[in-house]
Amino acid sequence: EAGVVQSPRYKIIEKKQPVAFWCNPISGHNTLYWYLQNLGQGPELLIRYENEEAVDDSQLPKDRFSAERLKGVDSTLKIQPAELGDSAVYLCASSPGGGIGAGELFFGEGSRLTVL
Amino acid sequence: KNQVEQSPQSLIILEGKNCTLQCNYTVSPFSNLRWYKQDTGRGPVSLTIMTFSENTKSNGRYTATLDADTKQSSLHITASQLSDSASYICVVTEFGNEKLTFGTGTRLTIIP
């Protein structure tokens, strides 16, 4: 079974430029998460989807970040314009959700963003 | 505010030795606690899950314990191997809304 697929793995851009990350979750997983991870820190939630619905986007900086999950499968996270402080790893995770599965996240390899 | 604190922040041990990582949390109500292993440049991978009624759970050389009364968990690694070098992250799930709180991780380095 294929895992969570993210692209690109690495991205280097200049500040004020836009950037987009793509995530394909594990088939059948209704819950999808985007996390931001700084070096030496734990992941921080940006947004959580249940199917197409964003059920928790309270930590998403909406002035420059946007996300979508069309048809409840793939998801895209966009930053426009990027700032120096956005340099980090952006992790996508999916989960079967609910019951004993609650908290069982399957992560992608991450997209490492460097803003110059 | 729900918090998960891990200690130590980093640890260096010799190959073959044992070690124990700690996790204290304030998440309430509690659903479950997971330990994840994150290799450098990779996404985290789940090692164990502990629910309220479980005290100990093993996964090979990894043994997790949970004391729900004191809200503490530990991850014990036996006979460490070079491949155990990674960050270990404790994640607690809140009951009801399935909200996750991540610790900042312990960076473990195994030296030959």
The per-residue pLDDT for A103 is 60
Within 8 A by CB and 6+ apart from A62, the residues are none
What b/e readout covers B39-51, taking b as 16+ CB neighbours within 10 angstroms?
eeeebbebbbbbb
Residue among B90, B47, B98, B29 nearest A97 (CA): B98
Cis peptide before A96 (omega within 30 of 0): no
pLDDT digits (tens, 9 = 90+) for A82-99: 999 999 999 999 998 765
> Which residues from A are below 8 Å from B when comparing CB atoms?
4, 40-45, 56, 91, 93, 97-98, 100, 102-110, 112
pLDDT digits (tens, 9 = 90+) for A27-43: 989 899 999 999 888 99
- Yes or no: say if B104 and B23 are a contact pair by the CB < 8 Å rule: no
pLDDT digits (tens, 9 = 90+) for B50-88: 988 889 999 999 999 999 999 999 999 999 999 999 999
Q: Which residue has the tokens 């990350």?
A: A21
* Chain B residues in contact with A59 (beta carbon < 8 A): none
Instruction: With a cut of 70, say whether residue B36 has pLDDT above it.
Output: yes
Residue among A113, A98, A86 nearest B95 (CA): A98
* Chain A residues in contact with B41 (beta carbon < 8 A): 109-110, 112
* Chain A residues in contact with B89 (beta carbon < 8 A): 42-43
CB atoms within 10 A of CB B102: 22
Give the pLDDT band (50/70/90) at residue A70.
Answer: confident
Q: Which of residues 12-71 of B touch A (CB under 8 A)?
A: 31-32, 34, 41-46, 49, 51
CA–CA gap between residue A70 and residue A87 (Å, rounded): 26
B20-49 average pLDDT score: 94
CB atoms within 10 A of CB B97: 12
Strand intervals (E) in chain A: 5-7, 10-13, 19-24, 31-37, 44-50, 53-56, 65-68, 75-79, 88-95, 106-107, 111-115
Distance of CA B96 to the CA centre of its chain: 22
Contacts for A9-13: CB closer than 8 Å, 24+ residues apart: A9/A109, A9/A110, A9/A111, A9/A112, A10/A111, A10/A112, A10/A114, A11/A111, A11/A112, A11/A113, A11/A114, A12/A113, A12/A114, A12/A116, A13/A82, A13/A113, A13/A114, A13/A115, A13/A116
